[in-house]
Structure formats: structure tokens, C-alpha cells
Amino acid sequence: MGSPKYQRIMLKLSGEALAGEKGFGLDYKVVDRVARQIQEVVNLGVQVSVVVGGGNFWRGLTASAQGIDRATADYMGMLATVMNALALQDSFETIGMATRVLTAIEMREVAEPYIRRRAIRHLEKGRVVIFGAGTGNPFFSTDTAAALRAIEVDAEIILKATKVDGVYEQDPVLNPDAKKFDDLKFIEILNKRLKVMDSTATSLCMDNKIPIVVFNLNEVGNIRRIIMGEKIGTFVKGDD
């Protein structure tokens, strides 16, 4: 069977992924499926951290375009990510995984405040660590939060879960003939303005040499396949 290629990972989940076909809120069948895929790799001895978005409940940019103050809209979005983090925690614990939610905005009644050393200690003890509330600052996406937390906890790779099987030159839903990239460099993402992560997150990963794998979350077993070194989705790295 072999050994895992990575020992500590960051999984970036969008809120929309947790909504499934419903498009809004939470589809608990999807949440359970995600939990069981993560359990697979935890059982291999891999340390797993997670950053989850909140777009299934609230999108700050959309609300801002409708006239809500941007900073206020972003803070509301951060609260939505905590709702998703708690839902994931419950699902993880239901199947027997030790889990901790750490939030960038303090809400001690429901989660621990984010402290870097505490997060690393939880990972070392085999607990799945879910980071909620983004970076705690408006104007930054949860993609940027994933990149930042990955750097802080010394994750070896970021697994960005999507609804498609990698990065394409155009939206494959709109253009079925769009070319899929098997490998990309960070600078190509920035130059071509490809929709992988926003430019801040991409630059953070590029500067700190943290690779990204963009993959299809809906194909069960993909997380384990990536961990074991299989070529899945699109692999993004630096020049070296």
C-alpha cells in the first residue's frame, strides 16, 4: 500500500461544496461524505487541518454589491464560516474523530480562539483542526485564510476541493472543450488570471513554496489518492 506522501495537510473547502445540489445551507449527506474521506487519511497517520468558506450561507462580495458596508458584509461571512466549521466538527465527532474548531474571532462558548502553537499541538495529537472565521479581517478571502494558516502550521500542501477535476483555461461547464491543466506554476495563475485562488492567496503560497492540488471533492477517495501520491486534478507549484 505504501506510506503517505504528506504528513500534514491543509484542506480548503468551499461553503458551496457543503451545500451539495441544494445550493444553499448544508447537505448533511455531503458533510458526512467529506468527514469519512478525511477519516481515511487520519487513519493513515496524516495530520489534517481544514479551512471552510461560508458561501452556502452568505457571500460578502455579493452583499456589498447590494449596498451593505463591505467590512460588515465580510464579518457576516466570517460568522457563516463558523456555522460550517461547527457542522463539520459535529460530523467528524459522530464518526469518532477528535476535532477542534479554532476561530480568528473569539467566541469562546462555541470554539477555541486561534493560537498558532495550540493549533500545532492539536495536530500533533492527531486531532483534526478546523479554522473558522477566515483571517479575522475583512477584505481577505477564505482562500487567503487557508494559505496563511497552512504556512503558520507548517502544512506541506494545500488541497483545494472543487466541483471539477482540476483547473481549466475556461469554465468547463460553459465550454466543454476547455483545456485542463495537469500542472501549473504560481506565476502562470497570476499572469493568466486563472480562477484557482485569489491573487493574495496565490502569492502567499508562491512566496512560501507551498504547493496546491485542485481536485474534485465529489469523487470519493480523491483525498486519500492525493495523500498517497497519485496524480489527481491539477498540481500547482513554484519554479523550482
Task: Compute the average pLDDT of residues 54-66.
Answer: 85
Nearest C-alpha neighbor of 101 from the set 49, 139, 55: 49
pLDDT at 164: 87
Q: Tell me the average pLDDT across 65-78.
A: 92
Q: How far is CA 86 from CA 82, 112, 240, in A?
A: 6, 12, 38
For 2-20, the pLDDT digits (tens) are 899 999 999 999 999 999 8
Tell me the per-residue pLDDT of 170-206, one tens digit each, with 9 for 90 and over: 888 888 888 999 999 999 999 988 988 999 999 999 9
Per-residue pLDDT, 1: 62
DSSP string, 107-127: -TTTSEEP-HHHHHHHHHTT-
Closest CA to 206 of 193, 215, 214, 197: 197
Identify the structural domains of the chain with CATH numbers, from first to last: 8-237 (3.40.1160.10)
Lowest mean pLDDT among 74-78, 151-155, 185-189, 235-239: 235-239
Predicted confidence band of residue 240 (pLDDT cuts 50, 70, 90): low
User: How high is the mean pLDDT of the chain?
Assistant: 94
Supply the pLDDT for residue 10. Answer: 98
Distances (CA, A) of 8 to 142, 145, 147, 180: 19, 17, 14, 27
- CA-based nearest residue to 179, from 166, 187, 168, 193: 168
Cell of 118: 495550540
Q: Which residue has the cell 505504501?
A: 2
User: Which pLDDT belongs to residue 60?
Assistant: 75
User: For residue 167, what are the β-bridge partners?
Assistant: 181
What distance lies between CA 166 and its chain's CA centroid?
A: 15
Edge-first strand order for the sheet with 212-216 is: 112-113, 99-103, 128-132, 47-52, 8-13, 157-162, 212-216, 234-237, 183-185
Buried b or exposed e, range 39-58, using 16+ CB within 10 angstroms: bebbebebbbbbbbbbbbbb
In the block, residue with C-alpha cell 476541493: 161
pTM to 2 decimal places: 0.94
- CB of 45 within 8 A of CB of 195? no
pLDDT score, position 216: 94
102 close to 121: Cβ distance less than 8 angstroms: no
Rounded to whole angstroms, how far apart are CA atoms 230 and 224? 9
d(CA 102, CA 96): 19
pLDDT band at 120 (very low <50, low <70, confident <90, very high): very high
